[in-house]
Structure 1
């Protein structure tokens, strides 16, 4: 059995912020063998949608659009002006999705990344309800454009609101809108999920996007990630979306500082992308899983 998936890579692996000139990466991404380019929109005004659309068409790449939620983009803030700022930004990203032919917009859009505090249950409930109310508005905006949203849990050091698949499913249930779906990130899952396979099963058919890297944000296949658990979970839910490498370049200091990458994680960013894709294709074929099963079976027989 093999996974029927597409493979993507984030432009954050090479640059930040994404702007129109970053379409120069598309030829390399296509040549490596990727199907999808993941475009993180930090500043919508930096993107000439027409030129990006033409480049996507030229290289036969499909787009996935992700959001960046800094301090000023916080749907749980006590000041409604922050909600307005966030909704305006999200609307711009949804317009980019529509204009580029991306079927969804994903990211941790419920609150600002890095908002991780110890607060009272009463305050947590207030902020949760703000997220629900505002994300229902986002879902309505998305549906008006024929889109969905993929809500991404973050690890405990980056969010105190939504950390696990269980959390995000509860959030989606409370939003109660068909446009609300799940985007999972393996880096955060490796920190927060006791069982990767169970987390994927819990997301089930609501899972529309999966980002991966190694447990240390490095090249897939070089760390401690339980790729067998990912394979079983994705097989069980018959996932046919994208598996996309998301990591970051240490060469852009502001970005590297934000995600705490203090040194290179691979010989080069190109080798990161190229070798990571080679591993993911072997993994998705199921051959490594079968090989490991044979090794385990033989070891058990010897015992």
Structure 2
């Protein structure tokens, strides 16, 4: 069943327990049924309390993250790969403990602009590691979804085709792709075709504008995007993602180059995004029905 979600960074920088609980409340208030948190360190947050809060609001939880260079599972250094695997395993347990159902993001490499090309050995180290992590996650009821991002945030998976090859090389049937309209707009020759190519391997979907701001205020062809989601009968989470210096998480702002306000008030942004996504889905369904008529 498809659930509409929102990234917690629309509401809070995520540094405090109260901030995360407020984000849950605001998401529910606006009618979102899924929230996405950034990497949750159990030492800093009461995960049981967050889990109870989310359950009381009927809001599902997903977590996304990226690895640091010293824990890069696409490294050729076995010790670095082992550190990365431990970080991912810890993250899976945190998702379980918060009552969440998915771990996504840049799990297969560091979240950074690389100054070198990936190696085949590094690729296979990463794929083998993620296959093991996905097995652990599956036993805990957590899906592992691999976010395909632009060339300035990883050197490994920049297109859906690369993501599918990676899953094939991993040998795992538990891994799925996490596609994002912002990144596809940079890297894919045809984002809608990339969605159709991913097909049933698509496990999580980010809706974001080309300028990271209000949906419809950039250059992304959302009609084509939603037509493709309807065509593959996508029934998993669709999550709105938008960043602005109005709400800052320092690490993410540096990694994603968030240098300016794309918006200043989050309530109007969240309300507009929900209305926009629901409208685009309805329009795509009508186009599909019209096309299907004899």
Instruction: Please state how far the C-alpha of 1:242 moved relative to its aligned partner.
Output: 1.4
Equivalent position of 1:297 in the other structure: none
In structure 2, distance between residues paired with 1:218 and 1:28: 19
Aligned counterpart for 2:114 among listed residues 95, 112, 116: 116
Instruction: Please state how far the C-alpha of 1:289 moved relative to its aligned partner.
Output: 7.3
Equivalent position of 1:210 in the other structure: 205
C-alpha contact (below 8 Å) 2:10/2:242 kept by paired residues: yes
Instruction: Please state how far the C-alpha of 1:239 moved relative to its aligned partner.
Output: 0.5
Equivalent position of 1:170 in the other structure: 165
Structure 2 residue runs of 5 or longer lacking an equivalent are: none
Aligned residues: 286
- Residue 229 of structure 2 corresponds to residue 234 of structure 1: yes
Over alpha carbons, which structure has the higher Rg?
Answer: 1
Aligned counterpart for 1:147 among listed residues 142, 147, 152: 142
In structure 2, distance between residues paired with 1:90 and 1:125: 21
Aligned counterpart for 1:258 among listed residues 255, 258, 272: 255
- The superposition leaves residues 187-216 of structure 1 with CA deviations (integer Å, 9 ceiling, x where unpaired) of 111100111111011111111110111011
In structure 2, distance between residues paired with 1:238 and 1:138: 27
C-alpha contact (below 8 Å) 2:244/2:260 kept by paired residues: no
Equivalent position of 1:274 in the other structure: 271
Instruction: Please state how far the C-alpha of 1:88 moved relative to its aligned partner.
Output: 1.9
In structure 2, distance between residues paired with 1:169 and 1:234: 17
Equivalent position of 1:198 in the other structure: 193
C-alpha contact (below 8 Å) 1:17/1:41 kept by paired residues: no
Equivalent position of 1:299 in the other structure: none
C-alpha contact (below 8 Å) 2:40/2:91 kept by paired residues: no
1:1-303 alignment runs, 5 A limit: 5-17=2-14, 19-21=16-18, 22-119=20-117, 124-250=119-245, 251-252=247-248, 254=250, 255-286=252-283
In structure 2, distance between residues paired with 1:75 and 1:267: 37
Structure 1 consecutive aligned stretches of length 4 or more whose deviation exceeds 4 Å: 287-290
Distance 1:73 1:175, change over 3 A: same
Distance 1:289 1:44, change over 3 A: farther
Equivalent residue of 2:268, what SS?
A: helix
- Calculate the TM-score normalised by the size of structure 1: 0.87
Equivalent residue of 2:74, what SS?
A: coil
Structure 1 residue runs of 5 or longer lacking an equivalent are: 294-303
